[in-house]
Amino acid sequence: QVQLVESGGGLVQAGGSLRLSCTASGLTFSTYAMGWFRQAPGKEREFVASISRSGASTYYAGSVKGRFTISRDNTKNTVYLQMNSLKPEDTAVYYCAAAARSVISSVAAGDYWGKGTLVTVSS
């Protein structure tokens, strides 16, 4: 049974930082592209960042580029999202997703999903 478990969310002031983690089990982690998505209240889930199977390639939404960094450790079956210079508009539930493909850049591409972790940025 595949499980993705996110952690690291919380309440932070604008300008602050958080690091999210997502640990996977039940799959061969290094064969899956990994991604982070988020869903704010009343809005659709949107792409944030993704990373290729090896970690050599990364992709970002324009709204987070330069502030967020995605990385992975295939020895720990874990993908990370370092979030710096947080803004109130970054407030959302953050989900990680795994896709058995070279890249994941849309909600439809996700094969497996975590249950999410809430990030709240106060102004």
Torsion over CA: 31, 118, 69, 75 (sign)? negative
Tell me the pLDDT tens digit for each residue of 8-33: 999 999 999 999 999 999 999 999 99
Torsion over CA: 73, 1, 46, 7 (sign)? negative
Tell me the pLDDT tens digit for each residue of 27-61: 999 999 999 999 999 999 999 999 999 999 999 99
pLDDT value at residue 102? 84
Query: Strand 117-122 and strand 10-13: pairing?
Result: parallel
How far apart (Å, rounded) are the C-alpha atoms in residues 108 and 85? 29
Q: Token pair for residue 27?
A: 């799959």
Res. 105: pLDDT tops 90:
no
